[in-house]
Each structure stands twice: as structure tokens, then as C-alpha cells.
Amino acid sequence: MSSSKDKLKIDKKEQSRRGKKISIEFNETTLWKTGTIVFGVLFVIAILTGGFGKGGGGVGAVPSIPSQVPTQAAPQPSAPVDVGIGDAYVKGDKNAPVEIIEFSDFECPFCGKFYSQTLGQIQKKYIDTGKVKLAYKHLPLPFHPNAQKAGEAAECAGEVGGSDAFWAMHDGIFDNMAIQAGIEVPKLKALASDIGLDQGKFDSCLDNGDMEQKVKNHLAEASSLGASGTPTFFVNGVKLVGAQPYQVFEQAIEAALN
């Protein structure tokens, strides 16, 4: 018997005496070596291809940053980052002391969960009372085929009808997701009609991709900030990941207010 091998075998005579048994035999050293080689090769390939072409240089499921967009240095563990509202649409008083920037994907169920279960409570207690302003930025994930166009649709609604129209489209898209009514382009155009937008201008904006670059710029910004999934929030520049329940946001907002 080789000294380097541990074997588990069921004695064949015993097996035949007792009837049918399941035979388990493995070589632990070979298992270890094979597993190490397999994972090592996969790891190297993943690094060289940036997550098999689907990872964003190791930052979650976000695609690579376009070369023309400057990247930020990685934020220090306790230092808030200067995210900036930029060209995002804002809900609430622009002078509110607490700023929440949400990077979200209209096709992401967790983002839908935040919208349906948490946003309403935050709005009622903090946004409507002037303590918090919420800005929405786009982070369409590559494996959500309708997310990019849904983001553009919301931006087109804002472009055509203003901030209120943006938020109405935002709510309509997530409501459609919740009831699984779909968010393909025809559905987005129907939503625009429901909101009361100029259908011709909206359809032209969406079909021509007028807001495509704006959505992609938000995506690139999210990648540079280390947003590793959706939804990702920045509460006064401090990152908070996940569709956390209302109590988490309450604590974070109260801590920021104090």
C-alpha cells in the first residue's frame, strides 16, 4: 500500500455478504491536488479576463470603466467619499442635511424590494420633513437585459416632463416589476403614455438613445466608487450595500443627522 494514500474501501466480501452497498473510494491527496489545480487555474483565468469578462476588474458584477472616465482612488475605510449628486434627479429638499445617493437597477429584485418596502417609510419620516434628499443614479447590471433601456426611459421621462415625470416613471417601472408586468420598450412607452408625457418626444428620446450616455456615465461612476451590487447607497458619502430594511436606514440617517 502506498504510504501517501488514505483509502476508504468497503470490503468486497463484506459487501457481497451483506448485500448491495454503496462503495466509496477516494484518494485524499489526489483530491487536494486536483482541487488546488482547478481552482488555481480558474482564479488565474478570472484575474486575466476580469471575471471571465463579466466581472468589473473584481468589483462585483459591474462592467469595466470606460477609459475616458477618470477613476477615483479607493476610499479609506472610515472616510466618506465625495460622490456628488451631479445630474441625478433628486427627491426632497435640495438643502436637506443628509444626502442619500442610490445606485440602482430597475430590473433588480432587491432594488424593487427597497422601493416597495423601505423608500415609502424614508420618504414619510425624513424626505417629506426636509431632513433627507435622495438622488437616483443608474447601475444597470449586465445580466439584466432590460435595465439599460429602463434607465434611459426614466431619464427620457425627466427630460420631457421634468423631475416629477422622472419619479413617476421610476415608480411605474418598479410597480410593473412588482406585478411582473414587464419593462420592455413597448411597456416603457405605455408607461410614458399613462404618465401623460408627450408620446412623440418620449419615443424619440428612447428610440434614439438620447439618454444612453448619461446612464452609462452613472454606471462608470458606480464602478469607480466600488459599488459591488445593487442597490448600493451612499449616505453622506458613506457606502451602504444592500436592500436593507427601514430600521437600518433609520439608524444611518439618525447617526448622520447627529
Site pattern 101..140 for other proteins (x: CB under 8 A):
-------xxx--x---------------------------
Instruction: Residue 242: count other Cβ atoms within 10 Å of its Cβ.
Output: 15
Is 161 near other proteins (CB under 8 A)?
no
Backbone angles phi, psi at 104, to 5 degrees: -140, 165
Site pattern 194..233 for other proteins (x: CB under 8 A):
---------------------------------xxxxxx-
Q: Which residues are CB-contacts of 215 (< 8 A; sequence separation ≥ 6)? A: 138, 140, 148, 151, 152, 155
Residue 7 or 124: the one with the smaller Cβ distance to other proteins is: 7
3-state per-residue secondary structure call for 123-144: HHHHHCCCCEEEEEEECCCCCC
Residue 68 or 76: the one with the smaller Cβ distance to other proteins is: 76
Q: Name 133's bridge partners.
A: 99
Is 78 near other proteins (CB under 8 A)?
yes
Pairing of strands 232-235, 98-104: antiparallel
- ω into 142 cis (within 30 of 0): no
- In angstroms, what is the minimal distance from the CB of 37 to other proteins? 12
Residues making contact with other proteins (CB under 8 A): 3-4, 6-11, 14, 24, 26, 28-29, 31-32, 35-36, 39, 46, 50-52, 54-62, 75, 77-80, 108-110, 113, 141, 143, 227-232, 235, 238-245, 247-248, 250-252, 255-256
